[in-house]
Structure 1
Amino acid sequence: MPPPDSASQASTLTSVVSQDQGGVRLDQFWMRHAEDQGVARSRIQSWIKNGLALINGSPCLRPGRRLAPGDRLELRAAVPNSGLTPENRELHVLYHDDDLVILNKPADLVVHPAAGLDQGTLVHRLLHHFPELAGKGAGGMDTSRPGIVHRLDKDTTGLLAVALNEPTRLCLASAFAAREVEKVYLALVHGRPRAEGIVDAPIGRHPTLKTRMAVTEKGGKPAHSAYTLLWTAPEDRFSLVQVRIASGRTHQIRVHMRHVGHPLLGDPTYCPASFTSWQDDIPCLNALLRRPMLHAWKLGLPHPRTNQPLSFVLPPPKDMLRVILVGSRTTQRVGLTGMPGCGKSLLLADLAALGLPAWSADKAVAELYLPGRDGWELLRRNFGDRFIPDPEGPVDKRALLNALRETPHLRRELEALIHPLARHHLEDFWQAHRKHRVAAAEVPLLLETGWPSDFDLIVGLACDPDRRRAWLRSDRGWDENLLADMESWQWPEAKKIRACHLVVTNPGTRDELAQKARSLVDVLQWLRQQGVRRILARITALVAPE
């Protein structure tokens, strides 16, 4: 008999073929004889072919050799040493019995050793926490990846099943092959996919980039994924989807979601740069996207010994939730409105002094009326020299105001010309400050012009009518007729204030109004925090166990 390999442990099994065992194949005989030791038939066949089986003292290299009653048999079971050193590092065990372990695999952890990687894998940790994987009870297992029946990519988190003995491994491998195992993932993908979809496209090596996989017309292996849209972030930036896979090809979900135009967030391999430009507008988001946002969420399988169904659900990790919350941030667009003389401009100035980007409709319109600007050009084109006597001079605002007071339809005509320009100016303001958490715009006719959709929150500034009218008379020189005309162009004060989300009362002094501005900033921050909590509650409800 040949000596065992120096890198192997050896034990010799002996037996005599009984009368009722006559005609049995050699490999079948030893399979039955070693069944209680969990040795795979393929491993026994390998030992036989390597000359480690003897019949009546002579080596036999044929696993299918039929035995005769009375044959004396020997089998030298060669179990290669793995050479793997157990590593005492953290392992998140969710379920454990004599046959099976269910783990929560973290990101940045390779499942098993490979060429050039002989330490720091999940298998090294398993060997420390479950030494039986390297012991006699693990006979027949692949010693480079003991217990591994399926795997997750290095940066994929979530549920992973590990067999603690060879019969369990064979049973689980059979269940995976027969598609009796439920595998459902959570993924964050760019854009907003359809409500649901099926991707049935073969996957193979990329034709030119050999380190990547791709949907291939020829040479690929069948791959089937079914996704369901769960939630979409503001502005359709990205979505949370669940993906159920029947097959288990390398990078399957990453490749399939890219194939349908919705690659995973944080995936440098399969996500083109054209999808990621919006990420630069969200402070801190790129720093969080250190891996493809993929998580093994649900795992259902029959128990290898009892065949009873086991089901596990693991909510997404913190980094995935942080990406959802940070990636959902939008600029809180606050509109200030109120009656003439209520102090809107003063409140806006106080908010600007506290660091909020600020925009004023009155100032925007004044800029539009500057010579050569769009508003000025419209006035010249539609009214000739009626309001611009000098072809290159400024707008005669007094003549314009008098005409608006005298001719109601002219006011409506002018609003139809100027308001779209002012609104475009506002849109540019929001875009310029899209990285800020909050920005404010003062618009006297915000409600009357139908602009509420441009704002997330409308703040009305209330003021004692007698006080604000007295101020307009003394500081702006308005008479009673002008006061009446200007107020008639707006909603009644009571209706205007009722339509606002928040109401700030002007207490009458600059210091007190400045304090109101500080309080408003605090309220705005609290509302943003509530928005974050609502998103978190929504996601938590979506991914919780049923």
Structure 2
Amino acid sequence: MIKTGQKRHWQIQAGNEAYGMRLDKFWAGELAEQGVSRGRVRDWIESGHALVDGAAETRGKRKLAGTELLELAEPADAVNPDAPQPESGPLPVLFEDDCLLVIDKPAGLTTHPAPGCPDNTLVNRLLHHWPDIGADRSGMDPSRPGIVHRLDKGTSGLIAVARTEAARLTLASDFAERRVSKVYLAIVHGRPEPPAADIDAPMGRHPSIKTRMAVLPKGGREARSRYRTLWTDPLGRASLVAVRIFTGRTHQIRVHMAHVGHPLLGDTVYGDATRMETLAETMPDVTAERQMLHAFWLRIAHPESGETMRFLCEPPEDFMGVLRGLGRICLRVGLVGMPGCGKSTVLGVLRSMSIAVFSADECVAELYEPGHDGAEMIRGRFGGRYSLENGGVNKPSLFAAMLEDDAVRREVMDMVHPMVKHACEKFFEDHAHDCLAVAEVPLLLEGGWHDDGVVDEVVYVDCPDELRTGPFRESRGLAPETLAAFDSWQWPAADKRACCAWEIRNHGDRAVLESETRRVVRELREAAADRGEAHEQWLERLWPQLAEELDGES
């Protein structure tokens, strides 16, 4: 049996990752974050304070099979030469009484001393502000007095602290028995699919990088999380998620979200450096200097009265800055109209105003060039029937076939339209930092791009039919039959106009058309500014609404 008169006691079921590991090295890895060195572990083992499958073990060099039940205890007379000292520093307090503190831990502050961080921790500041939690007065563990759960150094938000040993024991039991509810906010890469899900993925030490944790196929300890997507930026670059944890494994949220393909922004250990670099290109004025994780909501029972207590802690400024930056994106505008209405002229006016523009016709022309994807697909599908000797597309021949055979037209559109859509999405990504950008795509509405979120707003160029089918058609050298075919491939004018919030009138006067275009641009810029303000207001409303929802959940 373990000797009597001990202070701390640990019990762990070894897993496959412990196979072949020395007993003292195993315990040193498990207790490193609690400030226990390998030398102290070895001393405790050699003095008879370790059990392996219930039998005393005094050899620190014993090799493990990875199946044992391991126990270790700290001797009652053990002295910690590195006991933390009081240090001044700010600690925002959300609640305080004689036995409990609830703190808003700043990001960058380690929870308790460890071998790599002996001072400047939350514990050091606690000892300064509340000397009564010190071991000499409270009887608590001198290396981490009052600590019943922890937050990573780079994680901000709510942490409960016990001021007495009785409160610590009660809170520790509540955390161990999962009677405490904890919900975090995280900003993750991409758009999680499904938008909400449970993650049941056992965790343990990384098999080759001992400083990291990992999801393990065998031998890991139970780890369960549940995430819910609250918002995704319009470009799908990143999402705000709420994560409830049902177990308290080290780095659990960071590991679990990375495991499902959506690591946290700013996470240099489990994150994705390539995706961070790509994101930085679209948000040059916003950076995530730490993992974007915040302990947002906590529900606990008061350790003395048993009263249910709920705490909400809004995210700090750096977290909010990333959310604002993600919401501060280009207003993506689609430009449509009936064939021959003057869309190309409008694009010219926009270019003269230094507004980024995308032309589907120009994109298709490039796709049809020799060696480009469109030309290769056309040649592959039709066996060179509509290809030139240099590999490019014979556009007159292909267009004639599309006029003659609607099946050919549909097949060509099914090949080319997705490539144009991809190029358009890339165009908007490249101009994400602009106030607005405009894409002229004749079949934008017919392709459902406005419903798919490719564009935010659609502008309709209105032109009387007598101009469009008369002088404008003649100036382009189009036969009446060709223009009629173009019309038949698109929605009627009334249906197009009904989907558009803005309209540019083109009645044949170039000066008036330019004035109309500039008017709509002014209105679009105002809409972009309004959208940014609306995003800010939405964020302000989100936190109390989310807390109310969480309070109603079991």
TM over 0.5: yes
Contact residue 82 and residue 118 of structure 2 kept, 8 A: no
Contact residue 359 and residue 440 of structure 1 kept, 8 A: yes
The one-character-per-residue Cα deviations of 1:101-123 (angstroms, maximum 9, x if unpaired) are 11110100012233354442222
Q: CA 1:187/1:380 → structure 2, altered by over 3 Å: closer, same or farther?
A: closer
Tell me which residue corresponds to 1:515: 518
Contact residue 91 and residue 125 of structure 2 kept, 8 A: yes
Q: Structure 1 counterpart of 2:441, which letter?
A: V
Tell me which residue corresponds to 2:265: 265
Contact residue 378 and residue 387 of structure 2 kept, 8 A: no
Any residues of structure 2 matched to 1:186-201 within 5 Å, and which? 186-191=185-190, 192=192, 194=194, 195-199=196-200, 201=202
Q: CA 1:109/1:381 → structure 2, altered by over 3 Å: closer, same or farther?
A: closer
Tell me which residue corresponds to 1:147: 146
CA deviation after TM superposition for structure 1 residue 461, in Å = 1.2
CA deviation after TM superposition for structure 1 residue 320, in Å = 3.0
Unaligned ranges ≥5, structure 1: 1-26, 28-76
Q: CA 1:478/1:273 → structure 2, altered by over 3 Å: closer, same or farther?
A: closer
* 3-state SS in 1 of match to 2:430: coil
Any residues of structure 2 matched to 1:350-369 within 5 Å, and which? 350-365=349-364
Pair 1:255 & 2:255 matched: yes
The one-character-per-residue Cα deviations of 1:122-171 (angstroms, maximum 9, x if unpaired) are 223223322333497x3423334332232211111111112223333333
Contact residue 333 and residue 439 of structure 1 kept, 8 A: yes
Unaligned ranges ≥5, structure 2: 6-76
Tell me which residue corresponds to 1:421: 416
Tell me which residue corresponds to 1:122: 122
* Structure-2 separation of matches of 1:376 and 1:311: 62
* Structure-1 separation of matches of 2:78 and 2:360: 85
Tell me which residue corresponds to 2:291: 292
* 3-state SS in 2 of match to 1:288: coil
CA deviation after TM superposition for structure 1 residue 521, in Å = 4.1
Any residues of structure 2 matched to 1:39-54 within 5 Å, and which? none
Q: Structure 1 counterpart of 2:546, which letter?
A: V
CA deviation after TM superposition for structure 1 residue 460, in Å = 0.2
Contact residue 469 and residue 480 of structure 2 kept, 8 A: no
Contact residue 341 and residue 462 of structure 2 kept, 8 A: yes
Tell me which residue corresponds to 1:536: 539
* 3-state SS in 1 of match to 2:314: coil
* 3-state SS in 2 of match to 1:434: helix
Contact residue 102 and residue 159 of structure 2 kept, 8 A: yes
Q: CA 1:389/1:434 → structure 2, altered by over 3 Å: closer, same or farther?
A: closer
CA deviation after TM superposition for structure 1 residue 458, in Å = 2.0
Q: Structure 2 counterpart of 1:515, which letter?
A: R
Tell me which residue corresponds to 1:180: 179
Tell me which residue corresponds to 1:94: 94
CA deviation after TM superposition for structure 1 residue 225, in Å = 2.0
* Structure-2 separation of matches of 1:302 and 1:384: 75
* Structure-2 separation of matches of 1:303 and 1:183: 15
CA deviation after TM superposition for structure 1 residue 426, in Å = 4.7
Tell me which residue corresponds to 2:440: 442
CA deviation after TM superposition for structure 1 residue 232, in Å = 5.4
Contact residue 332 and residue 428 of structure 2 kept, 8 A: no
Q: CA 1:126/1:335 → structure 2, altered by over 3 Å: closer, same or farther?
A: same
Q: How many residue pairs get matched?
A: 463
* Structure-2 separation of matches of 1:461 and 1:363: 19
User: Which shifted more, 139-148 or 387-396?
Assistant: 387-396
Tell me which residue corresponds to 1:430: 425
* Structure-2 separation of matches of 1:370 and 1:260: 40
* Structure-1 separation of matches of 2:364 and 2:353: 25
Contact residue 370 and residue 395 of structure 1 kept, 8 A: no
For the pair shown, which has the larger CA radius of gyration, 1 or 2? 1
Contact residue 193 and residue 239 of structure 1 kept, 8 A: no
Contact residue 105 and residue 159 of structure 2 kept, 8 A: yes
Q: Structure 2 counterpart of 1:97, which letter?
A: D
Tell me which residue corresponds to 1:65: none
Q: Structure 2 counterpart of 1:360, which letter?
A: S
Tell me which residue corresponds to 1:338: 337
Contact residue 223 and residue 246 of structure 1 kept, 8 A: no
* Structure-2 separation of matches of 1:525 and 1:456: 10
Q: CA 1:93/1:428 → structure 2, altered by over 3 Å: closer, same or farther?
A: same
Q: CA 1:491/1:145 → structure 2, altered by over 3 Å: closer, same or farther?
A: closer
Tell me which residue corresponds to 1:109: 109
CA deviation after TM superposition for structure 1 residue 209, in Å = 2.1
* Structure-2 separation of matches of 1:193 and 1:400: 40
* Structure-1 separation of matches of 2:478 and 2:251: 72
User: Which shifted more, 242-251 or 306-315?
Assistant: 242-251
Contact residue 230 and residue 542 of structure 1 kept, 8 A: no
Q: CA 1:83/1:269 → structure 2, altered by over 3 Å: closer, same or farther?
A: closer
Q: CA 1:314/1:259 → structure 2, altered by over 3 Å: closer, same or farther?
A: same
Q: CA 1:315/1:408 → structure 2, altered by over 3 Å: closer, same or farther?
A: same
Q: CA 1:384/1:519 → structure 2, altered by over 3 Å: closer, same or farther?
A: same
Contact residue 266 and residue 289 of structure 1 kept, 8 A: yes
* 3-state SS in 1 of match to 2:319: helix
Contact residue 342 and residue 461 of structure 1 kept, 8 A: yes
* 3-state SS in 1 of match to 2:429: coil
Q: Structure 1 counterpart of 2:425, which letter?
A: W
* 3-state SS in 1 of match to 2:322: helix
* Structure-1 separation of matches of 2:209 and 2:371: 56
* Structure-2 separation of matches of 1:447 and 1:156: 44
The one-character-per-residue Cα deviations of 1:146-197 (angstroms, maximum 9, x if unpaired) are 3223221111111111222333333333433444333333334445254322
Contact residue 375 and residue 387 of structure 2 kept, 8 A: no
Contact residue 203 and residue 249 of structure 2 kept, 8 A: no
* 3-state SS in 1 of match to 2:266: coil
Pair 1:169 & 2:168 matched: yes
Q: CA 1:118/1:95 → structure 2, altered by over 3 Å: closer, same or farther?
A: same
CA deviation after TM superposition for structure 1 residue 95, in Å = 0.5
* Structure-1 separation of matches of 2:255 and 2:395: 64
CA deviation after TM superposition for structure 1 residue 310, in Å = 2.1
Any residues of structure 2 matched to 1:23-34 within 5 Å, and which? none
* 3-state SS in 2 of match to 1:185: strand
Q: CA 1:245/1:372 → structure 2, altered by over 3 Å: closer, same or farther?
A: closer
Q: CA 1:444/1:319 → structure 2, altered by over 3 Å: closer, same or farther?
A: same
The one-character-per-residue Cα deviations of 1:12-45 (angstroms, maximum 9, x if unpaired) are xxxxxxxxxxxxxxx9xxxxxxxxxxxxxxxxxx
